[in-house]
Amino acid sequence: SQTIHQWPATLVQPVGSPLSLECTVEGTSNPNLYWYRQAAGRGLQLLFYSVGIGQISSEVPQNLSASRPQDRQFILSSKKLLLSDSGFYLCAWNPRIGLMNTEAFFGQGTRLTVV
């Protein structure tokens, strides 16, 4: 069966420090991968998505970047965190099966607090 791992679960970082959040998927190959950010009690803002290794689509110009060094690994990074980067970050994947749309599976999220 497929599983998605996202870590860490919580993170407190000082302003100006670097960030690296990792997401890995098991049990599938060639997934679509997504990073979202959620402000407190609100909807999901799509940050990046990837349809293959090294292929990253950026949705919101900001202080963050994403990379996909391996098929089932998606990394969210920042060189210098801002206070406004605080939030709940969610990784997700769905299988790419032609034009069929299937459920997207979410990780448990990382709560990032920039202080």
Partner 1 sequence: SQELEQSPQSLIVQEGKNLTINCTSSKTLYGLYWYKQKYGEGLIFLMMLQKGGEEKSHEKITAKLDEKKQQSSLHITASQPSHAGIYLCGALLIQGAQKLVFGQGTRLTINP
- Interface residues toward partner 1, by CB under 8 A: 32, 34, 36, 41-46, 49, 51, 57, 59, 88, 90, 92, 94, 96, 99, 101-109, 111
Shortest distance in whole angstroms from residue 32 CB to partner 1? 4
User: Which residue's CB is nearer to partner 1, number 13 or number 32?
Assistant: 32
Extract the tokens encoding 17: 């420090």
In angstroms, what is the minimal distance from the CB of 51 to partner 1? 5
Given the complex with partner 1, which of 16 and 26 has the nearer CB atom? 26
Instruction: Compute the distance between CA of residue 49 and CA of residue 39 in angstroms, rounded to an integer.
Output: 19
